[in-house]
Structure 1
Amino acid sequence: MYTHPQFGQSTAEIQMLRQQAGRWLRALRERAGMSQRELAKAVGFEYYTFISQLEGGRGRLPPAQYLAFAEALDIPLHDFVKTLMRYYDPITYYALFEISSPAQAQPLPDVPKDVPAKTDEDNVVGLSERLARLEALIAERK
C-alpha cells in the first residue's frame, strides 16, 4: 500500500481521513454501477482486494493510478484528484485552493449517508484538532 502520513497529523486523523476517502471512492464506484472486481479490472489491478482496502481506509491510492480511476469512475481527472487531495493531503489542499482561513474552509464532499463515520468523537475532535494545527503551521511559516 502507498502511504504518506501528512506532517502535523496524528495516526488517528490520517486513518479517519482515509476512511472518509474510502467511503467517497465506494460511492463513486456504486454510482458507476461497478463491483469491486469490475473496478479492479478496469484500472488494471489483478486483485479486487486492493479496492476493498482503499474503500476500508486501509491504504492510499497511488498517484500513478489517478487517471485510470478517474476514467473508470467517469469523473473528470481534476475533480477526482482535487477531492482526493482534501482527504490525503489537506494542508497542501488548503495551500493551493482555499482563499479563506482554515476555519472557514469548505466542508469535505459528502459521503454516503448510509455509511456512518466511525464515531462522532472522531469527527469533531479530528476536525477541530486538524484545523487548529493547520492554523498554527501556517502562522509559523509566515
Structure 2
Amino acid sequence: MQFQTNAKTTDDKRQELRLQAGAWLKAAREEAGLSQRELAGKMGALYYTFISQIESGKGRLPADRYAVYAEALGVDSREFAIKMLEFYEPTTYQLIFNQKSAI
C-alpha cells in the first residue's frame, strides 16, 4: 500500500514538472515572437496542436526534437537541452550537475 502512495506522489511531481516545462516553453515561444502555428512550421511539425500539448503539460517534448525546437526559438541548443533535462529528468540532472534542480 505504501508503494502506491509513493507512486502517486511521483506521478503528481512528474505532472507538475511537465506543467512547469510547458509554461517555460510557452514563455520562450512568446519571447521569440512566435505563435504555436509558426513554431510548428519552423520545426517541420505537421500540426500546431503538438506545440499546444507540450505547452499544456499533456505531452513531453521528445529529446530528439530538442535541437530543432531550440533552433526554432533562436536559443542555444545545449542550454535548452539542459533545461529540458531539469524538467523531465530531475534525478539525472542532479546526478550530472551535482546540484538539486532549481525547479
| TM-score above 0.5 | yes
Counterparts of residues 28-67 of structure 1 (less than 5 Å): 28-67=28-67
Shift of 1:98: 2.3
Runs of 5+ in structure 1 lacking a partner?
1-7, 100-104, 109-142
Structure 2 stretches lacking a partner, 5+ long? 1-6
Aligned to 1:125: none
Deviations 1:26-64 (A, max 9, x none): 000000000000000101101000100000001110111
Match of 1:90, as an amino acid? Answer: P
SS at match of 1:10: helix
Partners of 2:53 and 2:59 within 8 A in 1: yes
RMSD: 1.4
Seq. identity, %: 46
Amino acid at match of 1:78: R
Write 1 or 2 for the structure with the bigger share of helix.
2
- Aligned residue pairs total 96
- The two structures have a TM-score, normalised by structure 1, of 0.64
> Using the alignment, how far apart are the partners of 1:71 and 1:36 within structure 2?
15
- The runs of at least 4 consecutive aligned structure 1 residues that moved more than 4 Å come to none
Larger radius of gyration: 1
CA distance, structure 2, for counterparts of residue 86 and residue 106 of structure 1:
6
Instruction: Normalising by structure 2, report the TM-score.
Output: 0.88
In the TM superposition, what are the counterparts of 1:84-123 in structure 2 within 5 Å? Answer: 84-99=84-99, 105=100, 107-108=102-103
Distance 2:49 2:87 in 1: 21
Residue 106 of structure 1 and its aligned partner are, at CA, apart by 5.2
Query: Larger relative contact order (C-alpha < 8 A, sep ≥ 6)?
Result: 1
